[in-house]
Every structure is written in structure tokens, then in C-alpha cells.
Amino acid sequence: MNQRMVFNTVGKILLAEAALMLLPTLVSLIYQESCFSAFLLTIAIAAALGVLLMLISRPKDTVIYAKEGFVIVALAWIAASLIGALPFTISGEIPSYIDAIFETVSGFTTTGASILTDIESMSHGLLFWRSFTHWVGGMGVLVFVMALIPSLSERSIHILRAEAPGHNVGKLVPRMKDTAKILYLIYIGMTLAEIVCLLCGGMSLFESVVHTLGTAGTGGFGVKADSIAGYSPYLQWVIAIFMLLFGVNFNLYYLLLIRRFKSVFRSGELWAYIGIALASVLLISIDIWPKYQNFTEVLRLSTFQVSSILTTTGYVTADFNLWPDLSKTVLLLLMIVGGCAGSTAGGMKVSRVVIMLKRIGSEWQRMLHPRSVKTLKFEGKKLENTTVTGVCNYILVYFICLATILVLLSTDPTAFGFETNVSAALACFNNVGPGLAGVGPVENYAAYSDFSKLILSGAMLLGRLEIFPLLIFFSPSTWTKKG
């Protein structure tokens, strides 16, 4: 394995993180807060570590293969999270480093699960940093670096593939650097649009920015204990719509920009995504009708919750823990489905669900007509057998990981109950944030033991990086000559 290239790239990531941290530093400077020095110290540490890594591992050649891609991504995310947690602990606002790691991983992986019991007393700088990690993690730390650095490697597609969500990651334009730039420009454009929409609704600048960063990355960190519930219906609608927009494959926005409207309308994943959202809104609206008895309110609440959970954002406007069982079940299933491939959302991804259903359909057909020949198609193209096998394999591994996380969580000394543990595992693994019962919308993860917090942090990383990079990173054979 090209270890020099791996560590060199991680060094670059740390430098990029140091640069990104200048923004929250600026915020804390504006608000004259004490966390200013914590940020400066962290920047110094990150920059020093980054330069050191780059110096001691100057690559002899830049050739990387799929394996290096996975390892670079896994290591970069772990390193970025460990460094990103420092300001919380140094400033003393989250005294326990494990808690700070949980919070930062939750940020970068766009989960939005929090251990904070009193959000409103946090300083502005740290609140901003928390939400900013959502924004960076949503599109990807390495994609960001690729957009800036001329050429990481001829084969940086392996990094993109390991970091970007979805089963079929490709480039938009020939050059990797340009692809990364286009993705980030679309991302920045949509982010600015949402900030403007929120400002128009009367939200303060700081809160608009923080909530937009949380929406864009489909993260879910806010500044209020009751999340979005306290804001006006207009603001709730804006956030609900933007959450849905950020859950769409960004390639489609590029196609819109270059006026290839037909390809957008032919996207099977987009229609499935819209269909799932509409069906869930309908089901939940009917289910919670007796509770609210007001058409606009029911529609707003169900749309917001569905869009928040489907895109794995995790903002809430109602304590859905108190909703009837059908609604809770639908929301729990939406967590698993997640957003579209190539978006900032988590979960299993709509495209995988669609492919899996198509595969089940064709197998069904084969049982009835053993000699039938059928070609599976998706987005107008033939589905290669390797793709279908890959998707099925992913889903299998997904559930094995889920089961493992659940077993480890159940060993927690405090007995939280089955519902809490299942929903906590699902909410973290799928990067949603709030679960049910003990980790419901108005609760938080503070009560879990340190061990469980680390397990959940791992679950969030597994979910964001789509399992394999992390598994490959921790597999001993990756690091021996044999592998």
C-alpha cells in the first residue's frame, strides 16, 4: 500500500480543517467569546500535525488504488473528528473529550445527535462550528480538498468513490478537480439561497446561518432546545422544503444547470424519492389527524417530520415520540431508506432500495417462469450484474452492522429499553439524530455510558462512509504485506 500517499493526504486534510476553523474563530471574535483562544490553539495543533504529516511522508509516487482510497477516507474522517472535538474540550464547554468526540462525529457525519443538555447556554462560536461540521461533512471533507488542490492523484476517483454516498459514484466532467468544484458551487449556491429565504422570514442572521448549515448537510444541529418548533410556519416550510432539496442527487442539479431537463425527469430514483415522501406524508397525516384536527397544522407537521427523517436531517417541530405507533413506525422505516445517492443525506439510499426491489421482482418472475430472460434497468441503463450483487451485498452488511451495534448497545449498564436502543442505533447508523423514547426528539444521548457513546460514534462514521472504508481500515490484512 502507498502509505506515504495516505498520510500525506491526511496531512492535507488536517491543514484544510485548520483553514476551515478560521470561520468559527471569526464568529467567536465577533461575539467576543472566550472560546476564541480554544479555536486558535486547535488551529495551531491541526496545522502543525498536518505539516508534520506532509513532511515525513512525501510521496514517491502518487499512484493509489481502491484500497488506498478507502484507507485515506477512513483515516481522514477519524483524524478530522478527533481534531474537531478539541475546541469543545479546550474551551471547557464540553468537559469530557469522549462527549466532544461524539458531538463532532455527529457533526461531520451529519447525524445531529447531541449529548448537550443545555444548548442555549453554548457560545456562538462553538454552536457555529458544530453546524459548520455538518456543512463540510455533508458534501465530504476530501471532495472539498480535491476542489482546492490541483491534483491529488490521477486516480483520485477512488477517494471520491469511497467518500461520496451511493452505489454508483461517477464524475460530472472529465477532471476530478472540476467535478469537485461544481459540486461545491451548487452546494454553496443552494446554501446561500436558504439563508436568504430564512432571513426573509425574520430569523436572525446567526440562526439563519446555523440552521442553513444544518439543513444543507442534512445534519440537524440547531440552537434551540425545541429545535425548529418555536419558529413561524413560514420558516418551518422553508426548512422542510430545503431539507428535501438537499436530499436529492446533486448530479441532477448539474444536469438542470446544463439544461438537460429530460435526463432529470427520467431519473427513477428521483421519482421513487418523491413517491416515498408523498406516501409517508399521507399516511402520517391520516394517522395524526385525530390528535391535531387542523388541516394546515397536520400537513405542516407531517411534511416537516417526513422530510426531516427521510433526508436524515433530524430537525423536529413536534415530539413525534407522542404520536401513534403507525407514524412512529413509518418514521423509523424512513430512517433506513434515507435520501438519494449523491446527496448529503444518509441512510441506505433510495437508489439501493429501488434496485433491491427490482431484483426481488425479477427473482419472483424467475420462480414463475424458470426459463425467462429479463434485463434489469435503472435510470434508463442496463443494470450490470456486479452492481446488483454489490447492492445486495451492501444491504446484507448493513443489517449485520446494525445488529452488531444493537448488541453492543444493549451491554450498557443503564437499561434503556429495547425501543430506545433500537432507535438510537438506527438514528446514529443512518445519520438521522433523534430516535424514539429515551433518545426521542426532546431527549438527548447524554445518559449513555462512554463506551456506548464511542460505539454510537463508530456507528455514525460507518453510516456516513457507507461501512466499507471503515471496515477495510480496521481490517488487519489491509496493513500487512499479505493483503
Partner 1 sequence: MKIIVIGGGKIGVTILSALIAEGHEITAIDSDPAVINEITNTHDAIGVVGNCVDCDVLSEAGVEAAELLIATTGSDEVNMLCCFIARKLGAKHTIARIRNPEYNDNSLGFLRQQLMLSMAINPEYRAARELYHLLKLPSAANVETFSVRNFEMIELKLKPDSPLDGLSLIQLRQKYPEKFLVCVVQRGEDVFVPGGNFVLKSGDKIAVTSTPTEIHKLLRHLGLMQKQARNVMILGASTTAYYLSKMLLAGGNNVKIIDKDLARCQKFSEELPEAVIIHGDGAQQELLLEEGLRSMDAFVSLTGMDEQNILLSYFASSQQVPKTIAKVNRDEFAAMAEHLGLDSLISPRKTIANITTRYARALENSKDSSMETLYNLMGGKAEALEFIVRHDCEIINIPLKDLQLKPNVLIAGIFRNKRIIIPAGDDVIMEGDKVVLLAAGHRVNLLSDIMK
Interface residues with partner 1 (CB under 8 A)? 66, 151, 154-158, 170-176, 178, 384
**In the complex, minimum distance from the CB of residue 258 to partner 1, in angstroms, rounded to a whole number:** 9
Nearer to partner 1, 171 or 359 (CB): 171
Based on CB atoms, which residue is closest to partner 1, 173 or 286?
Answer: 173
Complex with partner 1: residue 92 or 380, whichever CB lies closer: 380
The minimum distance between CB 157 and partner 1, in angstroms, equals 6
What whole-number distance in Å separates Cα of residue 311 and Cα of residue 343? 9
Query: Which residue's CB is nearer to partner 1, number 240 or number 255?
Result: 255
With respect to partner 1, which residue has the nearer C-beta, 66 or 356? 66
In whole angstroms, the minimum distance from the beta carbon of 168 to partner 1 comes to 11
Q: How far is the CB of 147 from partner 1 (least distance, A)?
A: 14
Q: How far is the CB of 153 from partner 1 (least distance, A)?
A: 9
Instruction: Report, in Å, the least distance between residue 180 CB and partner 1.
Output: 11
Q: Which residue lies nearer to partner 1 by CB, 170 or 417?
A: 170
| Shortest spacing between CB 60 and partner 1, in angstroms | 12
The answer to whether 153 touches 62, Cβ cutoff 8 Å, is: yes
Q: How far is the CB of 482 from partner 1 (least distance, A)?
A: 23
**Position of cell 451495534?**
405
CB 155, min distance to partner 1, A = 6
- Closer by beta carbon to partner 1, 172 or else 422: 172
Strand partners, 371: none
| Identity of the residue, 170 or 324, whose beta carbon is nearer to partner 1 in the bound complex | 170
Cβ proximity to partner 1, 6 vs 456, nearer residue: 6
